[in-house]
Structure 1
Amino acid sequence: MTTMNTNTHSPAIYYWLFLAVSRSDSNDRPHREAVTAPDERTARQILTRQFVLSFAGRLPVQEAKHA
């Protein structure tokens, strides 16, 4: 009999915050961009084509609690 890992914990997901400037608009002002991802590398991959990014913060995503 084989034992399977029954760990049901999903990886932590965070809101990643960046100060961003558009790559295509030279007149763009720095602004905040936020993305939900499990790690900073994934978050940057989502936004890096459109923006030049500077890390601003990481916040945990609150999971919905059912009564």
Structure 2
Amino acid sequence: MKVTIDEDKCCGAGQCVLIAPEVFDQRDEDGIVVLLDAEPGADRHAAVREAAAVCPAFAIEVSE
């Protein structure tokens, strides 16, 4: 799995951080997503897929 983010689309909702805090974080100054792990382990795949699915701005892309 490879994860990419589009910072320009991010609205700072933070759902990704709540669902997969090992993979996503937010910048302190504006809440924009920060990708911590672009190739998370298999144990995190379900959470990453869920985070991408609930992102209101569609800023997270997952490729298998």
TM-score, with length taken from structure 1 = 0.27
Greater Rg, structure 1 or structure 2?
1
Higher strand share: 1
TM-score, with length taken from structure 2 = 0.28
Higher helix share: 2
